[in-house]
Amino acid sequence: MKMTFRWYGNDDPVTLKNIRQIPNMSGVVTAVYSVPAGEVWPEEDIQKLKEDVQGSGLEMEVIESVPVHEDIKLRRGNYQTYIDNYKEIIRRLSKYGVKCICYNFMPVFDWTRSQLDKELEDGSKTLVYYKEQVDQMDPTKLALPGWDASYTPAEMTELIDAYKALGEEGLWSNLEYFIKEIMPVAIECDINMAIHPDDPPWSIFNIPRIIKNENDLDRFLSLYDDTHHGLTLCSGSLGCGKFNNFANMVRKYGEMGRIHFAHIRNVKLLEDGSFEESAHYSPCGSLDIFEILKAYHDVGFKGYIRPDHGRMIWDETGKPGYGLYDRALGSTYITGIWEALTKMKGV
């Protein structure tokens, strides 16, 4: 496996120098963040990003993410133009050595939490999803990471209504169309496309979500019969659902060669279906991180891993979920388990 670290560009308070000093770190996972969804990324921006990363002694082989425009997901308006632009981004990233693109097909928003700075018993702060709080939210007025703040409340209402009318089968149909359009380009460029599951893996505000469980992953992979068409398997997303056996998923899809990117984080599951993000160390949450990594090791996983969301610890401030210290601890924890597994196997 290759250890990587999410980096939000030169405006990120976590610097490339910081990341370079984490043991076993091969590269960063990043993107061009200044271009609106649907527009082509300027080649000079990609080149500058690559130069900055390489200049720090790291690799830029994974992009997270290339956003999918809402018109593509709804197959309306300028969707074909946006798909053509997406293909061009794939071509340009390939030119600069990118080997894996993480993306998602979540309507309207990415990951959703009810609080970004919940203080835990030890004084650290973390992201939480409390169902009671979510049920009281007005989705047209939310301002959370992953939500496009450019929409007015009226536009957000129209967008949500459009997805409700589309429904799950309509969203599946549009995803299939998108996949069949982009995959020939990805295969030609030898780039692995790795979809990220819905986070959390259930419908919110009655908006359809379709990448939630094993049946969904099976259906998704059946859309295109090529190993370049694969998964970003996220323990913190799929692991939020008690209906998912994450380690079994790793073994199943890892043996198929369809996992290209692994997100590792722990969550503490609560009785009512809520959850709190925790330290990576297994006893801190509800997931067995050792067993998950053993599954990856057993299937000979050679893709990319990154420590996913971390708590804010040691009085650090910054982008919620993306501080330096806890993710660095998580990376070292993952690396230590991987070393032990390797030595136990005698590899």
Confidence of residue 147 (pLDDT cuts 50, 70, 90): low
Mean pLDDT (whole number) for 341-347? 85
Mean pLDDT (whole number) for 339-344? 96
pLDDT digits (tens, 9 = 90+) for 222-243: 999 999 999 999 999 999 999 9
Mean pLDDT (whole number) for 87-116? 94
- How many Å apart are CA 319 and CA 14, to the nearest integer? 9
pLDDT for 149? 59
pLDDT digits (tens, 9 = 90+) for 193-211: 999 999 999 998 889 999 9
The Cβ of residue 277 has, within 10 Å, a number of other Cβ atoms equal to 27
The rounded percent of the chain whose pLDDT value lies above 70 is: 97
Please count the structural domains in the chain: 1
Mean pLDDT (whole number) for 155-159? 88
Nearest Cα to Cα of residue 50 among 60, 58, 40: 60
pLDDT at 146 over 70: no
pLDDT digits (tens, 9 = 90+) for 270-305: 999 999 999 999 999 999 999 999 999 999 999 999
Nearest Cα to Cα of residue 90 among 72, 69, 63, 70: 63
Domain span holding position 35: 2-345
pLDDT at 145 over 60: no
pLDDT at 144 over 70: no
The phi, psi pair for 273, rounded to 5°, reads 95, 0
pLDDT for 135? 87
Catalytic residues: 196, 234, 263, 308-309, 322
Q: Which residues pair with 305 in a beta bridge?
A: 3, 262
pLDDT for 112? 87
pLDDT at 115 over 60: yes
**CATH code for the domain of 244:** 3.20.20.150
pLDDT for 121? 94
